[in-house]
Chains A and B, each alone.
Chain A
């Protein structure tokens, strides 16, 4: 049962107008998702700044605190930095260039934001927090996560700036290319578990084993999915759309203040979405990671549940986000041709081969 349904059934005793009831049932998860996105962005930016600093032998933000509390003395200081940054961004002047297409320029950040917002409708946060339970869950996520390209192209075109346009074209080509390996690798869990539904895939993993450990081919598939996911979120080493040294800020060049912060918010939300999808498709979803090592005797299912499930899923997602950041501060940016080479000549052949091999594996074992 989906989250919206459970709210509806629990509120049905109130004898309210059905339209109003439906509105409430939709607004509550919407607010929760928005809160999650904001908190995720604030925490992840702080984490990213700290991790990048440590990897480069620096300290990162150390001075800004909340209510006088700066955090740890030696390394983890400055916990208020991203909150201060967010307030600063909201207070900034909103500049729209004279020659820009005003309507489209204003529209673009909202399309990008909405694209990452509505993807959450199909992404589970725990076994009971799935806003709408589609029987085509994975297909929905795939479809919605690529809507953002429209916003990117709109932003790049309407800015009336060559850097923006270059950035947008690069982003579009990159995202469309990397859709293919993602789609093919996501077919593997469907082949194995026998359903596009989120619950079917996770339940199969809980009953058998995590898909990443199921066969060598699913391991490769996880790797391909994750790296392609990083490419989809336009992060380093695949950040040629906004390559600072070449294109100033790519399609975000002409944006400032609140609109720019919407881009930023959706970028970090996309990271969270890719990590959540990877963890529920390949890493056992809301199941406890203790099930693999199997240290606890007997019935260890008490470690699961709606609250703990949320915790496990988020833990896995945060671990993957950390890996994304680790990638970002390790590898240099790929050239455009290298990027396309990696996608079309490496990932896609391997993904197709994987799919065939998994089919054979399923028949044999």
Chain B
């Protein structure tokens, strides 16, 4: 019982003691609060003595600073920087211009305008190597021995990383323009715009389909854009000397990217000059003039599509055994001429190797790989190039309808259908789901007209 009351009394005492302690802290907050609100308040820098005069101390690792009035744009510091954090652009005023770049404090006449002098302090490693080559002593670390030039700055913290890129150049746009830097300003603005676009995720994305389209239009143009001339027609000429002359003329004109009509004329001309022209060559010359880029005639880029997927005798180059490789290649070329399918040829090859007891693991693996390839030929980007872009369907406002349309689109595209067929598919599917409203129909007709 006594303990019980003692506990209560002790409890009340400690209760009061604790409360008075916290209240004391609250009351004396002016003296006791320990928080330093850093960017607004700073601890004073202590006076310090490092054993010698600070001005004799030749390196201090603080922030780099450039006195732009003294900079002659010699790029020595840029070259010296081991981490490439200094970027300088210079423009030389044309001889006839009256522009005066001014003089440095050493009395040197400046000959270049410096429209850009950036130091990225987030990359700088404070090695001080840029300071030594400067002929005008205008780039230096602030503080320390340079305290009289620029006060020390050791805590250049920023809210974003871009803030650490210091721009020292003070040439105005007018200065740049007056020394003929129109081109420079143009590219600078372009670059700025591209960076801004990229940051706001508006950059232009180059889709593989689009790129393919470009190449198709280029190759269907009259001028061939292929880098190797096609000699199949010319090779039909029987006389060696005549053939060589024709080939030479053909190549010469071809390299100039002339059209095939021009080539044919030129070939004829050169043959006449060399006295090799005869009326039986007329047919060949006519055929040359009728030649077009190889892929424009058969309506698509099927032949320009990557040929790696197609099996040739080179597919077997991976085989290490020379004998084996020879047999396989011979067999392959022979059978290919007979017009057998790839799979059948591969089967034949395997049987042949087996009978000759040359079917080792490597060969087995390669054959297996090739068989798989020939069974499921990979999709060529050609199919995508024909079809309109999926993003065009984004104009459909209703979410459900859009999803459905996109689903049909991807499915039809995988089946290798043409744009018009895909549109028809989408229309019929939407009609069956009773989602084909007026606005959706308008979108689809819009796409149809655009192709």
**Those of A28-85 within 8 Å (CB) of chain B:** 51, 54-59, 62, 75
Do residues A55 and B33 form an inter-chain contact, with CB atoms below 8 A?
Answer: no
On B, residues with C-beta under 8 Å from A are 4, 8, 15, 18-19, 21-23, 25-26, 29, 32-35, 37
Do residues A330 and B18 form an inter-chain contact, with CB atoms below 8 A?
Answer: yes
Do residues B19 and A57 form an inter-chain contact, with CB atoms below 8 A?
Answer: no
Complex: chain A residue closest to B26, CB-CB: A54
Distance A42 CA – B90 CA, assembled complex (angstroms): 59
Do residues A57 and B32 form an inter-chain contact, with CB atoms below 8 A?
Answer: yes
Tell which of B4, B26, B35 touches A55, judged by Cβ atoms closer than 8 Å: B26
The smallest beta-carbon distance between A271 and chain B, in angstroms, is 18
Tell which of B4, B8, B35 touches A59, judged by Cβ atoms closer than 8 Å: B35
- Complex contacts, B25 vs chain A, CB 8 Å: 54-57
Could you list 30 A-B pairs, sorted by A, with CB under 8 Å? Answer: A54-B25, A54-B26, A54-B29, A54-B33, A55-B22, A55-B23, A55-B25, A55-B26, A56-B25, A57-B25, A57-B29, A57-B32, A57-B33, A57-B34, A58-B33, A58-B34, A59-B35, A59-B37, A75-B29, A75-B33, A326-B22, A326-B23, A327-B19, A329-B22, A330-B18, A330-B19, A330-B21, A330-B22, A345-B4, A346-B8
Do residues B26 and A51 form an inter-chain contact, with CB atoms below 8 A?
Answer: yes
- Complex contacts, A302 vs chain B, CB 8 Å: none
Chain A interface bracket (under 10, 10 to 19, 20 to 34, 35 or more): 10 to 19
- Is A18 interfacial (CB-CB < 8 Å)? no
- Complex contacts, A330 vs chain B, CB 8 Å: 18-19, 21-22
Q: What total count of A-B pairs have CB within 8 Å?
A: 38
- Complex contacts, A55 vs chain B, CB 8 Å: 22-23, 25-26
- Is A331 interfacial (CB-CB < 8 Å)? yes
Complex: chain B residue closest to A62, CB-CB: B37
Main secondary structure of the interface of A (DSSP, over half): loop
Complex: chain A residue closest to B20, CB-CB: A330
- Complex contacts, B35 vs chain A, CB 8 Å: 57-59
- Complex contacts, B34 vs chain A, CB 8 Å: 57-58
Distance A62 CA – B25 CA, assembled complex (angstroms): 19
Do residues B18 and A331 form an inter-chain contact, with CB atoms below 8 A?
Answer: yes
The smallest beta-carbon distance between A327 and chain B, in angstroms, is 8
Complex: chain B residue closest to A60, CB-CB: B35
Distance A327 CA – B19 CA, assembled complex (angstroms): 7
Distance A58 CA – B37 CA, assembled complex (angstroms): 11
On A, residues with C-beta under 8 Å from B are 51, 54-59, 62, 75, 326-327, 329-331, 345-346
- Complex contacts, A345 vs chain B, CB 8 Å: 4
**Apart from the given pairs A75-B29, A326-B22, 18 other A-B contacts in the complex at a CB distance below 8 Å:** A51-B26, A54-B25, A54-B29, A55-B22, A55-B23, A55-B25, A56-B25, A57-B29, A57-B32, A57-B33, A57-B34, A57-B35, A58-B34, A59-B37, A327-B19, A330-B18, A330-B21, A345-B4
By Cβ-Cβ distance, the 6 closest A-B pairs, closest first, are A59-B35, A330-B22, A54-B26, A55-B22, A54-B29, A330-B18
The smallest beta-carbon distance between B206 and chain A, in angstroms, is 36
Distance A115 CA – B19 CA, assembled complex (angstroms): 32
Distance A75 CA – B21 CA, assembled complex (angstroms): 20
Distance A329 CA – B24 CA, assembled complex (angstroms): 13
- Complex contacts, B26 vs chain A, CB 8 Å: 51, 54-55
Complex: chain B residue closest to A341, CB-CB: B7
- Complex contacts, B22 vs chain A, CB 8 Å: 55, 326, 329-330
Complex: chain B residue closest to A58, CB-CB: B35
- Complex contacts, B8 vs chain A, CB 8 Å: 346
The residue among A56, A329, A330, A345 with the most chain B CB atoms within 10 A of its own CB is A330
Distance A326 CA – B26 CA, assembled complex (angstroms): 10
Distance A51 CA – B25 CA, assembled complex (angstroms): 10
Complex: chain A residue closest to B24, CB-CB: A55
The smallest beta-carbon distance between B38 and chain A, in angstroms, is 11
Distance A327 CA – B8 CA, assembled complex (angstroms): 18
Complex: chain B residue closest to A55, CB-CB: B22
The smallest beta-carbon distance between B10 and chain A, in angstroms, is 12
Complex: chain B residue closest to A51, CB-CB: B26
- Complex contacts, A326 vs chain B, CB 8 Å: 19, 22-23
The smallest beta-carbon distance between B263 and chain A, in angstroms, is 69
Distance A55 CA – B15 CA, assembled complex (angstroms): 16
- Complex contacts, B4 vs chain A, CB 8 Å: 345
The smallest beta-carbon distance between B250 and chain A, in angstroms, is 70
- Complex contacts, A62 vs chain B, CB 8 Å: 37
Complex: chain A residue closest to B14, CB-CB: A331
The smallest beta-carbon distance between A348 and chain B, in angstroms, is 14
Distance A329 CA – B23 CA, assembled complex (angstroms): 10
Complex: chain B residue closest to A345, CB-CB: B4
Complex: chain B residue closest to A328, CB-CB: B22
Distance A63 CA – B327 CA, assembled complex (angstroms): 82
The smallest beta-carbon distance between A52 and chain B, in angstroms, is 9
Distance A346 CA – B4 CA, assembled complex (angstroms): 9
Complex: chain A residue closest to B7, CB-CB: A346
- Complex contacts, A54 vs chain B, CB 8 Å: 25-26, 29, 33
Distance A56 CA – B235 CA, assembled complex (angstroms): 96
The smallest beta-carbon distance between A337 and chain B, in angstroms, is 14
